[in-house]
Structure 1
């Protein structure tokens, strides 16, 4: 009987751990369900009914060779350096890249270490990132990314093959190990992202987007000028609306706060803050031609990527 109790306690501890952190095995095992997904399903045009998915620009183009200008060539493709050197007008020729760089940015800041239902926002974000990485690998695209927390920000150059996926997944798991604090903000992370994501990339940003300001929008604009950008907004249901009347205690093991939901004005202000953040994201997505997917901590991440226009 004592053995049974110990076994049950271990199983319960493992179950709890799966809710607040993610293992490398869990992320690797997502390769199988990822086989039923297709990133091209996210290229749906925005619907008048309120969807915010935009048409992507397609695969990038890279320089191939230069030849003599021919009637009908686009003057924007003239190679002025060769033209000046030879005295004859030359045109640059481009070819379609066989692989599209996929760059996945994952928010692992303290605000992502939270949930009242389902899994931590950070766990959901990493599962979404792993699924996207596996799908990109299946499609022959190069996988790279960025993992940022309050204490660190790491970029991985897009590369081919399963090894690049595993390298990225390992970075997601390691991100749970705290380092010396440097107080990295969302704008700082997006600035770095805009410096590392090469033109023609498909960029996913998975975050709760706390800390949005005009700098964030500017960096998203810069990214959208040369890349296809998908915003994945991860949130806990409690952030959208507090439960029925009562007193609720929340703690991060260092601090504690008690919320009394009988205070109508406080509840209204609380809900407005979430709605303002969501509406701001929607406005940015619509204005900049970005894709926006919403995913809460109770959602099945596979289903959210299979049906990105549905809102929970």
Structure 2
């Protein structure tokens, strides 16, 4: 059987080789963990206070503190009881959720949104491997979802990259984002860093609730992927769009319609910004034209504004 021209088009489809080749540029990606101690297993310091390997601080004794944590030197010097607080060292799981729904199979410039999502996921997975994280994730489309339990080492990385190229979906078809987010709640362990790579179409109140519950126990980063045409139509002309089944004709000379189109995209962006602020999430914008490494490095450390 002859391959279609799109099969080998890197703008339209992602290949395992392309994802493997991201290993080198991933070395220039910093995931923004302030408490990295060494590039090995167990290299992150938990935000959970407790008896661990790494001393964090001394504070005044509080009712309920373990008496074994009393700092006798500080207590003697200040004549007030003080407790030692520790941060536990632990390996950190990374869970990368990738949106392959029909709305992601689109672009007018650069690469398909789905391809950009796969490249971003590949970079994150390689960076996680280099930093000793466990690597797992979720891939979802209109056909269903696939989850991969976070595991350590290169086999886990390759398993995830292979799933990005050839996902094995199960469960019900995904209608909106509430379904994959509900599954994320079940699969992402507390303390994980969770990246969600999507255009975030199909958000509803149920999806917001699932995201809020996820954010209570995990560090969540939203990566919003968009094509330039989604933000603004060309100023003049009539344009025909098709998904292979349906056609739509848009006249961008209609100023009122053009402004309404722009406003809808701006409203969606503002909605994500407000949601990020409300739930204290990181929000990273990325266009289909942008180098994925630039997107992750350029806005990685900024909270939703």
TM surpasses 0.5: yes
Paired positions, count: 268
- State the TM-score, normalized to the length of structure 1: 0.78
SS of equivalent residue, structure 2 residue 234: coil
Structure 2 Cα separation of the partners of residues 115 and 95 of structure 1? 45
Alpha-carbon offset, residue 212 of structure 1: 1.1
Q: Which residue does 2:139 correspond to in 1?
A: 147
Alpha-carbon offset, residue 276 of structure 1: 1.1
SS of equivalent residue, structure 1 residue 96: strand
Q: Which residue does 2:9 correspond to in 1?
A: 17
User: In the alignment, which of 113, 116, 125 is matched to residue 121 of structure 1?
Assistant: 113
1:220 aligns with 2:211: yes
Change (3 A) 1:62 1:31: farther
- Contact map agreement 2:136 2:151 (CA 8 A) in 1: yes
Alpha-carbon offset, residue 95 of structure 1: 6.7
Q: Which residue does 1:6 correspond to in 2?
A: none
SS of equivalent residue, structure 2 residue 158: helix
Out of 98-107 and 230-239, give the one that drifted further: 98-107
User: In the alignment, which of 225, 231, 234 is matched to residue 222 of structure 2?
Assistant: 231
SS of equivalent residue, structure 1 residue 158: strand
Deviation digits for residues 41-96 of structure 1 (CA, Å, limit 9, x no counterpart): 699xxxxxxxxxxxxx963659989xxxxx94773889xxxxxxxxxxxxxx9972
SS of equivalent residue, structure 1 residue 20: coil
SS of equivalent residue, structure 2 residue 181: helix
Structure 1 Cα separation of the partners of residues 50 and 160 of structure 2? 28
Alpha-carbon offset, residue 286 of structure 1: 0.7
Alpha-carbon offset, residue 184 of structure 1: 3.7
Alpha-carbon offset, residue 253 of structure 1: 1.6
Change (3 A) 1:63 1:151: farther
Alpha-carbon offset, residue 228 of structure 1: 0.4
- State the TM-score, normalized to the length of structure 2: 0.79
- Contact map agreement 1:285 1:291 (CA 8 A) in 2: yes
Change (3 A) 1:165 1:264: same
SS of equivalent residue, structure 1 residue 40: coil
Structure 1 Cα separation of the partners of residues 260 and 138 of structure 2? 33
Task: Give unpaired runs (5+ residues) of structure 1.
Answer: 1-9, 44-56, 66-70, 79-92
Q: Which residue does 1:40 correspond to in 2?
A: 32
Q: Which residue does 2:188 correspond to in 1?
A: 197
Out of 230-239 and 192-201, give the one that drifted further: 192-201
Alpha-carbon offset, residue 185 of structure 1: 2.1
Structure 1 Cα separation of the partners of residues 187 and 169 of structure 2? 24
Q: Which residue does 2:264 correspond to in 1?
A: 273
Q: Which has the higher helix share?
A: 1
Q: Which residue does 2:198 correspond to in 1?
A: 207
Higher relative contact order (CA 8 A, sep 6+): 1
Q: Which residue does 2:55 correspond to in 1?
A: none
Q: Which residue does 1:88 correspond to in 2?
A: none
Q: Which residue does 1:50 correspond to in 2?
A: none
Structure 1 Cα separation of the partners of residues 253 and 112 of structure 2? 27
